[in-house]
Amino acid sequence: MKLRVPHPLVLLTAGVILAAAASYVLPAGEYERRDDEATGRVVVVAGTYEEVEPNPVNLFEAMVALPRGMIDAADIIFLVFLIGGAFTVVDATGALRRGVTSLTRALQGRDLLIIPVVAVPFAIGGVVQNLQEEIIPLIPVLLILTRRLGFNAMVAVAMSAGAAFVGSAFSPINPFQVAIAQQLAELPLASGALFRIVFLLIALAFWIAMTMRYAHRTRDRGQAADRAAAGGEDGGEGVRVSDWGIFALVGAAFGLAVIGMLLWGWGFNELSAAFFIMGVIVGLLAGLGVADTTEAYLRGFREMTFAALLIGFARAIYVVLQDGRVVDTIVHGLFTPLEGLPVLASAFGMVAAQAAIHVPVPSVSGQAVLTMPVLVPLSDLLGMSRQVTVLAYQYGAGLCELLTPTNGALMAILASAKIRYEDWIRYTFPLYLGLVAIGMVAIWVALGIGLQ
């Protein structure tokens, strides 16, 4: 009998209940915390774990955690709403659909090339800014593109979100992953960048090649031919001169977002404001007027509601585990056994432990401040390079983003593409194992060359 995973909201609600049950089973424990000036975050203090008074979370309190999760993820949720509204405005101008038509015409006869053409920019977004939630409103446009070429929705998600997640995990500069981890490990920012870039290119080449292979095997050539003959969904009109101004504004918004995050310390609220302004300017310059621009925003908000709910429900799982005082217990229990292992086995064990921790702790930055202060003293004790410890965190936590149902952005992207979670796992899991293998090779090489 074919296994079917429940509806995403049912799955995440079950995760909240399971987290509450864990608060009754696992011993409560906590590390001491301190303010870290380098990262501006509160981090754990290594060697201070101790059991504390249990605080089991009952069923009603677990349900109260659902709105609390929405509140806790409010900045991300409003980012999704405002970016979704902005791209609905852009879509209302017709520029995106005309761009799809022109792109498919340009690649006629070489349709598989659309995968690297799309994947590389998304991967760069992952490398420089941990691109995730921003992908959600782009999925409808990507679906138009892939349907036009006879590819299915899985290809649309793999060449966008998948590529972005791979770029994030192997990035040399991702401010939410490697940058925080290196600061906590007291390593220079972007140190080991050349080494990471080599394996980033290997991992991306692997992901893109496997996506192209899947697209070729599952392509509906009859559907592609029918759409080409019909001239597409928008009558086959190519890009207008005015559309280039719209594309320039969209590109400028993303460029400003990258600069703001890297240089000005921007967070999700500043990104929301930047994209909101972009959408308003596009709507007015394209002649939609105030009324039609507003209506497009409202339509975008409605379309993003389900995605926002998924993000909030996913965050509620972590809220329950925090209330139950078992998050630190999970970290302590997974890392303590690594102390007696050889260096290479310990490094591989760190990857596995980071992947396991990422399920209950779906924030990569939150996981860094939780685990790196514990792992750095352990790596020093084992004689392991701190750079290798950072790699283990990246490949463990970062690649788990491809799989874990507690990643609200992933679940929202799959929901937007109408892909069932079990179908995504069936497609992605073999590729995930391949990426982990690449990460393991990177760690083995780093230990061999003494990467510092």
| 368 secondary structure, DSSP code | H
Return the structure tokens found at 89: 């405005």
DSSP 317-339: HHHHHHHTT-HHHHHHHHHGGGG
Task: Please report, in tens digits, the pLDDT of each residue of the chain (452 residues total).
Answer: 566 778 888 999 999 999 999 999 999 999 998 888 777 788 888 889 999 999 999 999 999 999 999 999 899 899 999 999 999 999 999 888 888 888 888 877 788 999 999 999 999 999 988 888 889 988 988 998 899 888 999 999 999 999 999 999 999 998 889 989 999 888 888 889 999 999 999 999 999 999 999 999 998 765 555 555 544 444 457 788 888 999 999 999 988 988 988 788 888 899 999 999 999 999 999 999 999 999 999 999 998 898 889 999 999 999 999 999 999 999 889 888 888 889 999 999 999 999 999 999 888 988 998 999 989 888 888 889 999 999 999 999 999 999 999 998 999 999 999 999 999 999 999 999 999 999 999 999 999 998 88
What is the pLDDT at residue 230? 47
| 45 secondary structure, DSSP code | -
CA distance 89 to 337: 53
Give the predicted TM-score (pTM) of the model.
0.89
- Residue that has been written with the tokens 């056994």 in this structure: 337
Secondary structure of 417-446 in HEC code, one letter for each residue = HCCCHHHHHHHHHHHHHHHHHHHHHHHHHH
CA distance 154 to 335: 35
CA distance 193 to 2: 44
Helix, strand or coil for residue 176? coil
SS3 of the chain: helix, strand, coil, percent, to 5: 75, 5, 25
Domain ranges, ordered by start, for the chain: 8-50+58-449
What is the pLDDT at residue 226? 54
Q: Answer yes or no: are the C-beta atoms of 184 and 376 closer than 8 Å.
A: yes
- Residue that has been written with the tokens 């080599």 in this structure: 198
List the one residue out of 277, 151, 268 whose CA is nearest residue 214: 151
pLDDT single digits (tens) 381-401 = 888 999 999 999 999 999 999
Other residues' Cβ atoms within 10 Å of the Cβ of residue 441: 12
Q: In one letter, which amino acid is 126?
A: G
What is the pLDDT at residue 233? 45
pLDDT single digits (tens) 263-298 = 888 888 999 999 999 999 999 999 999 999 999 999
What is the pLDDT at residue 232? 46
List the one residue out of 240, 223, 230 whose CA is nearest residue 146: 223
How many angstroms separate the first and last alpha carbons of the chain?
51
CA distance 146 to 219: 10
Other residues' Cβ atoms within 10 Å of the Cβ of residue 45: 12
What is the pLDDT at residue 348? 94
328 contacts: CB under 8 Å, gap ≥ 6? 29, 30, 31, 44, 49, 370
List the one residue out of 417, 122, 283 whose CA is nearest residue 114: 122
Return the structure tokens found at 278: 């972009």
Encode 287-324: b = buried (16+ Cβ within 10 Å), e = exposed.
Answer: ebeeebbebbbebbbebbebbbbbbbbbbbbbbbbbbb
CA distance 99 to 269: 29
